[in-house]
Structure 1
């Protein structure tokens, strides 16, 4: 076989380039610390690394969502804690207002502080987050949830939705709560209607008077409405029955018709005065609003204390209803805080899970991508020897010439 001079030179140059490229590639691996410089180095590992990088990016987005969710829920929890503090103070004022020894000026002083607390509570219910969105307006983040009209009543302008963030591949968590569910959907103790007599018009000698009936025990009252008070045919005694005609209480009216008699039966409390007709039956229907907002409860108490026409019985009834409704409101706020705490626990565990997954990802990526320095240094040393030998052999072969033998 004949080998031309050009072919010999080309083969030598190709060998030099190939060996130099191998040594250079190994040197690049050592300098970068990566085993895979291009997908051609290890196609299977390159695909796996791409998948792991994508998963790592998704985890980073989830971590950002977790941080945003935690910040939003923490702010909501702080706001609800402030609301609970205000409600505690309002309840103290309501108890103080129930003191029968207070003068009209004293009650107006209490009403003045109630006005300030009412404004403070309205401001808290309209709290915004760091993005300028209202915390308690549902999906309507740019709409002010609670608005006070000219007559002093309140209306809710948001909706009942809950904004959510995805914090895992198949898990989304609410980061807000509807103000309607927390502050408006509060059980109203004064939802019972005006008692109605079975006598129309009342019989001879009947001049019964009733205070505002209120539900003081929701568990006992459940499924018993309406209640009926039937007075004995002889004597001042009476029996209270529920909607199933089951006796739930009984008692005797005070001998003095001007002195009220407290009736507690079937989860309902009211006061009765006057003289009934023998056999008269009085029905207490449930015809009022079953729910009442916290702000409306405070406003109702404030108006009763400020009114110059309010009697001692009116003040007593207003205070009793307000105390019960405030208790219901604080239960609602505490329930919302409990839900927030549960979500924060989920966020904490999810963050831990994401960190564990990210750690495993980095470990796998390191195994696939990082270089074995001992092996690479040994390989570089071997490739350097080969390159030097190739260079020396090329010099000798390139110096061969038939004309040298003829000298």
Structure 2
């Protein structure tokens, strides 16, 4: 087959051009460090590389979410820690105020200090995150969740919602505890009722207190909003008898225990449960004839008031400071206040512990993402990154081939039959 000079020259020029292009591609790869710079370099690897990069970008977004969630939870944890400290400070304040030797000026100073602690706790309850959203407002984040009503009581305006953040595939973490839970759900140390003591002024060796008042039989519980336990003497009165009996009245002041006027009187024995209307009441201490204890509940659904509010506890402490609590009624109430403050501090601790658990979940998920990132980077690198040792050898081979082609083409191009005539 005859090959014309044009075909010969064109073929060699194409060969030189291909070698030059190959050398330029190899130089570009060595410059960028990437074996696959565009899909056409290796379509199969390019598709895998794209999938790995998408997974890595998703992990980056998850890590961003984790950082946001961590900041939010740290703010909440700080507030809860402050709540624990304030609770302890209030308890110490009340113990100091319970000294009958303090003056009225000292009592007023303690009351002023208590008001400062209440305002401090209110600021914590209305604290906001870095975006200006209320931490303890539930889903209602644009306004203060706790405000004063017309009667000067602190009320909650948020809801019970807990916001969530996606931190992994099918993994979410709650960003907050609602103010309803944190500041309105302190376990009632008395059970299902709050207590109002109406005791005589007679001195007693063992202070009267309600150990518990719990609903034991919801099926027969009458959901009375008020029960009154009255301590009475012998009927007919016996001047020589010192025995104390009790009776229980409902909210309409009707005697419901004993169930009938003809039933015998019930002798009061400290610590012995009083069972009435599906309710069990345990009273301790030395009760006197004429004493009475009123059990109250603001709950309307028949479950009893097993939770109390933080600001209700502090308000009760404030009211104690405003009156002379150095009497049997005041001392019994002081026992309740101290127990409620203990319950309040324990509640803050439990919520803070739950916040810590959520932060631990963030740390665990962050470690999972770090390990996955290393794995995906290694797989992506195996497909995309250049093996410099191999690439350098291939580039040297290409340059040798290019130089040989150029040299051979130059020599053959100069050959002509006229040179031999």
TM-score by length of 2: 0.77
1:373 equivalent among 367, 385, 388: 388
Indicate yes or no: 2:312 matched with 1:296.
yes
CA contact (8 A) 2:211 2:282 kept: yes
1:216 equivalent among 211, 220, 240: 211
> What is the aligned residue count?
371
Question: Which residue of structure 1 lines up, in the alignment, with residue 302 of structure 2?
Answer: none
- Which range moved further: 181-190 or 88-97? 181-190
CA distance in 2, matches of 1:53, 1:288: 58
- The 3-state SS of whatever aligns with 1:70 is helix
Question: Which residue of structure 2 lines up, in the alignment, with residue 107 of structure 1?
Answer: 107
Structure 1 position 58, deviation (Å): 0.7
Distance 1:287 1:269, change over 3 A: farther
CA deviation vs aligned residue, 1:342-388 (integer Å, no higher than 9, x gap): 11111111111111111111111221122222222221121112111
Distance 1:388 1:275, change over 3 A: closer
Question: Which residue of structure 2 lines up, in the alignment, with residue 336 of structure 1?
Answer: 351
Q: Matches of residues 132-151 of structure 1 in structure 2 within 5 Å?
A: 132-151=132-151
Distance 1:127 1:105, change over 3 A: same
CA distance in 1, matches of 2:185, 2:75: 22
Deviating above 6 A after TM superposition, structure 1's stretches of 4 or more consecutive aligned residues are: 224-234, 239-243
CA contact (8 A) 1:23 1:384 kept: yes
CA RMSD of aligned residues (A): 3.5
CA distance in 1, matches of 2:290, 2:44: 96
Distance 1:359 1:399, change over 3 A: same
CA deviation vs aligned residue, 1:74-110 (integer Å, no higher than 9, x gap): 1211111111111101111222233344444443332
Q: Matches of residues 30-179 of structure 1 in structure 2 within 5 Å?
A: 30-179=30-179
- The 3-state SS of whatever aligns with 2:362 is helix
Structure 1 position 300, deviation (Å): 2.3
CA contact (8 A) 1:125 1:146 kept: yes
Distance 1:369 1:146, change over 3 A: same
Indicate yes or no: 2:356 matched with 1:319.
no
Question: Which residue of structure 1 lines up, in the alignment, with residue 406 of structure 2?
Answer: 391
Question: Which residue of structure 2 lines up, in the alignment, with residue 259 of structure 1?
Answer: none
Distance 1:194 1:295, change over 3 A: closer
CA deviation vs aligned residue, 1:160-186 (integer Å, no higher than 9, x gap): 111211111111101111011011122
CA contact (8 A) 1:264 1:270 kept: no
Structure 1 position 26, deviation (Å): 1.7
CA contact (8 A) 1:189 1:215 kept: no
Question: Which residue of structure 1 lines up, in the alignment, with residue 202 of structure 2?
Answer: none
CA deviation vs aligned residue, 1:22-67 (integer Å, no higher than 9, x gap): 2222222222222112212221111111111111111111111111
CA distance in 2, matches of 1:367, 1:147: 60
Indicate yes or no: 2:175 matched with 1:180.
no
Question: Which residue of structure 2 lines up, in the alignment, with residue 279 of structure 1?
Answer: none
CA contact (8 A) 1:217 1:268 kept: yes
CA deviation vs aligned residue, 1:118-176 (integer Å, no higher than 9, x gap): 11111111111111111111111112011123432111011111121111111110111
CA contact (8 A) 1:304 1:314 kept: no
Distance 1:193 1:299, change over 3 A: closer
- The 3-state SS of whatever aligns with 1:273 is coil
CA distance in 2, matches of 1:15, 1:65: 55
CA contact (8 A) 1:65 1:167 kept: yes
CA contact (8 A) 1:186 1:292 kept: yes
- The 3-state SS of whatever aligns with 1:130 is coil
1:346 equivalent among 347, 361, 364: 361
Distance 1:322 1:264, change over 3 A: farther
CA distance in 2, matches of 1:176, 1:76: 7
CA contact (8 A) 2:244 2:287 kept: no
CA distance in 2, matches of 1:152, 1:304: 17
Question: Which residue of structure 1 lines up, in the alignment, with residue 278 of structure 2?
Answer: none
